[in-house]
């Protein structure tokens, strides 16, 4: 499979090159040259397939012959080392829990898959190292740190906005050591992301073989399709159409869901639910794409002013807004609405959500007003304990701390403070 740059269709690379580069040299995001729907036989028998078998069918066309089948199956099996349960919170409204992995965030899936692909591509290159450079608004850092910990030939450098991630998130990305380094940036997430983008374009850092582990990297993004199929597998027998709401920041998750639909997965409608960082909902309202600096919210992993993956979604619809709006809606919600939703969900079902999932729930409910008779699924993208204070305060509950989290809480934070791109560059050199 070849991937082209969204800035230049003639610039094509292999899967391996796209994974190793992250972003194309012309700053474009890579996009698969072909998207071939999976044959109907697969959908007819999906409920009889294991998650691993489904994932293999879904990803194989995107990897091609660049990773041997047995290795790819091994990578998938190590990636999917946890469950993806659906929990009904009210009639025909389900939470798809993506947080049962090692760092309790959905990003474990993409990070684990990408780390193992990179390790495979590096296996014969004892002389050259890759540096994974990643900006995080919260959960990416922890998932990437955990996914890449101890991977030979890969150094990981994580940039996060000082004071803007939760205590648990900070511990997850600053306490592992080994090949993982955390840089604490005096700024907001967009500053971190801008520095990372600048570093990729900096000729003088070329020898560091920089790559990204944000959802701009295809090996992070593509495996995020898997759990949309797992949800369908569990709900297929209902015979009802599906509406899926993704709490969205950089729009990687929802972009993977839409790609799954292009592979034939019967999802009727997608909702991108955002917090007050509402660049996409505004775009759908008035037709102009006008990014703004990000604002801090209680769903901080979605505090993104200029969502990277939106261009990929536009590519899938050939920039045809009419066709796009048929499949896709986007709504924005305030922090007040989010805490009200947390309380509401808890009251009607006893279910403890966290702020990102609650935003997803709100968007889903709004769309279900139009798609009555459908089954709705919202992604619960992180475990509530990762947003401990806000959840405990809002719901007046005490959450037990899962073992994955407890093990990092006692460890000592190690980070280097930086202020500017020059600091980052000096560090990398
Ligand atoms: C990253 C993240 C999101 C946003 O996902 P995107 O793919 O960037 O849209 C939502 N919720 C949580 C908890 C996250 O960590």
C-alpha to C-alpha distance for 59 and 89, rounded to whole angstroms: 31
How large is the average pLDDT for residues 278-295? 93
pLDDT, position 201:
83
How large is the average pLDDT for residues 76-97? 97
User: Which of 27, 73, 107, 347 is the catalytic position?
Assistant: 107
Residue 138 pLDDT more than 80? no
Cβ burial of 128 (10 Å; 0-12, 13-18, 19+) is: exposed
Residue 313 pLDDT more than 80? yes
Q: Which two tokens stand for residue 366?
A: 């709004």
pLDDT, position 23:
87
**DSSP label at 182?**
E
Does 280 sit in the ligand 1 pocket, CB within 6 Å? no
Rg over CA atoms, the chain? 20
Does 302 sit in the ligand 1 pocket, CB within 6 Å? yes
Distance from the CA of 215 to the center of ligand 1, in angstroms?
10
Q: What is the mean pLDDT of the chain?
A: 94
E runs forming strands in 71-179? 86-90, 93-97, 130-135, 154-161
Please state which of the four CATH numbers 3.40.50.1100, 3.40.47.10, 3.30.365.10, 2.40.30.20 is assigned to the domain occupying 83-429: 3.40.50.1100
For residue 138, which atom of ligand 1 is closest to its CA? 15
> For 151, what's the count of Cα atoms within 13 Å in the CB-facing half-sphere?
27
Residue 65 pLDDT more than 80? yes
Whole-prediction pTM = 0.94
How large is the average pLDDT for residues 181-189? 94
Does 384 sit in the ligand 1 pocket, CB within 6 Å? no
CB 254 within 8 A of CB 260: no
Distance from the CA of 106 to the center of ligand 1, in angstroms?
8
Question: Could you confirm whether 107 is annotated as catalytic?
Answer: yes
> For 290, what's the count of Cα atoms within 13 Å in the CB-facing half-sphere?
6
Q: Report the percent of the chain where pLDDT is more than 70.
A: 99
For residue 357, which atom of ligand 1 is closest to its CA? 11
Does 346 sit in the ligand 1 pocket, CB within 6 Å? no
CB 217 within 8 A of CB 256: no
Does 248 sit in the ligand 1 pocket, CB within 6 Å? yes
CB 183 within 8 A of CB 193: no
Cβ burial of 193 (10 Å; 0-12, 13-18, 19+) is: buried
**Strand 154-161 with 375-380, pairing:** unpaired
Distance from the CA of 371 to the center of ligand 1, in angstroms?
25
In degrees and rounded to multiples of 5, residue 42 shows phi and psi of -60, -45
407 vs 97, more confident: 97
Residue 98 pLDDT more than 80? yes
pLDDT, position 193:
86
* pLDDT confidence bin for 382, thresholds 50/70/90: very high
How large is the average pLDDT for residues 170-198? 92
């Amino acid at each position: 499979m070849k991937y082209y740059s969204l800035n230049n269709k003639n610039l094509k690379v292999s899967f391996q090159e796209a994974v190793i580069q992250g972003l194309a040299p012309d700053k474009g995001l890579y996009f698969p040259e072909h998207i071939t729907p999976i044959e109907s036989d697969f959908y007819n028998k999906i409920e009889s397939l294991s998650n691993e078998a489904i994932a293999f069918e879904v990803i194989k066309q995107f990897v091609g012959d660049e990773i041997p089948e047995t290795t790819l199956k091994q990578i998938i099996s190590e990636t999917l080392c946890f469950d993806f349960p659906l929990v009904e919170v009210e009639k025909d409204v389900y939470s798809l829990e993506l947080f049962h992995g090692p760092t309790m965030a959905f990003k474990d899936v993409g990070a684990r898959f990408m780390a193992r692909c990179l390790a495979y591509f590096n296996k014969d290159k004892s002389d050259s190292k890759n540096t994974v450079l990643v900006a995080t608004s919260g959960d990416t850092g922890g998932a990437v740190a955990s996914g890449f910990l101890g991977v030979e030939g890969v150094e990981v450098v994580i940039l996060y906005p000082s004071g803007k991630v939760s205590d648990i998130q900070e511990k997850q990305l600053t306490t592992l050591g080994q090949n993982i380094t955390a840089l604490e940036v005096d700024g907001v997430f967009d500053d971190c992301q801008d520095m990372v983008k600048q570093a990729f374009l900096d000729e003088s850092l070329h020898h560091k073989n920089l790559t990204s582990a944000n959802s701009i990297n295809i090996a992070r993004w593509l495996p995020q399709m898997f759990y949309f199929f797992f949800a369908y597998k569990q709900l297929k027998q209902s015979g009802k159409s599906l509406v899926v709401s993704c709490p969205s920041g950089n729009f990687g998750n929802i972009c993977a869901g839409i790609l799954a639909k292009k592979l034939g997965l019967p999802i009727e409608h997608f909702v991108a639910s955002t917090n007050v960082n509402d660049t996409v909902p505004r775009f759908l309202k008035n037709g102009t794409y006008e990014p703004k600096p990000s604002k801090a919210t209680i769903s901080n992993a979605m505090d993104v002013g200029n969502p990277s993956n939106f261009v990929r979604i536009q590519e899938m619809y050939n920039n045809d807004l009419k066709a796009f709006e048929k499949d896709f809606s986007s709504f924005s919600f305030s922090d007040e609405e989010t805490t009200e939703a947390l309380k509401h969900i808890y009251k009607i079902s006893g279910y403890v959500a966290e702020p990102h999932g609650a935003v997803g729930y709100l968007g889903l409910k709004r769309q279900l007003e139009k798609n009555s008779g459908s089954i709705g699924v919202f992604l619960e993208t992180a475990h509530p304990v990762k947003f401990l204070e806000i959840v405990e305060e809002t719901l007046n509950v005490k959450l037990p701390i899962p073992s994955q989290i407890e093990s990092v809480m006692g460890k000592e934070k190690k980070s280097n403070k930086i202020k500017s791109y020059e600091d980052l560059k000096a560090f990398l050199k």
